[in-house]
């Protein structure tokens, strides 16, 4: 893996495709055990989590459903502090075992604002899986039940994560250099 340029910024390799794959398999095997017979409903948060959601879902051997909602809070390399919903939930959560799929929990604001809406519908249980978590950036308390990696408070991209819409297609995850 090499240093890459996206728009005006330089990024260095941070996680390989093999490292990502290993964590996804580990998370999937926990989910396969914990949700056996529970027919869980996964909710993937677009756009960032589409690749993680797809790779994780393929590793599940249990009966499970998946649906998608679209929330956004980032502009460029910074959180705007505002969470906008542009595609809402069209499935009832009442009595369901629900697992949210996030690419990354950063300040925690997205989850903090979104969880009460879900709890309102009285799911049987509600857990979060996230590929990445920046513990140093967390401003709202969020518990991640199934986590891939704790990462430093730096802007990351690739594997679904974008910089102003670009570079989601990378198989690896890159980190912004401190130029
Ligand atoms: P939060 O609301 O601050 O926890 O931010 C969550 C959302 O911001 C994530 O689901 C991502 O879509 C986006 N985000 C946070 N950190 C990064 C990053 O380092 N790179 C790209 N997107 C990010
Ligand atoms: Mg996201």
Catalytic residue among 106, 162, 164, 178: 106
Give the SS3 label for residue 121. Answer: coil
Q: What is the pLDDT of residues 62-96, one digit of tens each?
A: 999 999 999 877 677 777 777 777 778 889 999 99
DSSP 137: G
Which atom, in ligand 1's list, is nearest to the CA of 162? 21
Is the predicted pLDDT of residue 97 greater than 90, yes or no?
Answer: yes
H or E, element range at 173: strand 173-176
Report phi then psi at 56, rounded to 5.
Answer: -65, -45
Q: What is the pLDDT at residue 82?
A: 76
Give per-residue pLDDT as tens, 126-164. Answer: 999 999 999 999 899 999 999 999 999 999 999 999 999
DSSP-based three-state secondary structure for 152: coil
User: CB–CB of 173/167 below 8 Å?
Assistant: no
User: Whole-model pTM?
Assistant: 0.94
Confidence (pLDDT) at 1: 61
Is 106 noted as a catalytic residue in this protein? Answer: yes
Q: Which atom of ligand 1 is nearest to the CA of 154?
A: 19
Kindly state the DSSP code that residue 161 receives in the 8-state scheme: B
CA 73 vs CA 77, 108, 144: distances in Å: 11, 11, 19
Please give all residues whose beta carbon lies within 6 A of any atom in ligand 1, as ranges. 45, 48, 73-74, 79, 102-110, 155-157, 161
């Amino acid at each position: 893996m090499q240093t890459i340029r996206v728009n005006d910024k330089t990024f260095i390799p941070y996680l390989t495709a093999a490292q990502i794959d290993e964590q996804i398999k580990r998370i999937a095997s926990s989910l396969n055990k914990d949700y056996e017979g529970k027919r869980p409903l996964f909710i993937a948060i677009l756009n960032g989590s589409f690749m993680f959601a797809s790779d994780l879902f393929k590793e599940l051997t249990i009966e499970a459903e998946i649906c998608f909602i679209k929330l956004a809070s980032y502009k460029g390399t910074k959180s705007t502090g505002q969470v906008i919903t542009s595609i809402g939930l069209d499935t009832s959560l009442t009595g369901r075992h629900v697992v949210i799929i996030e690419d990354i929990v950063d300040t925690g604001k997205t989850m903090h604002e979104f969880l009460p809406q879900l709890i309102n519908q009285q799911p049987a249980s509600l857990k979060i899986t996230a590929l990445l978590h920046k513990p140093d950036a967390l401003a709202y308390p969020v518990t991640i039940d199934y986590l891939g990696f704790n990462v430093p408070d730096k802007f990351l991209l690739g594997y679904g994560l974008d910089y102003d819409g670009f570079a989601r297609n990378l198989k690896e995850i890159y980190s912004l250099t401190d130029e």
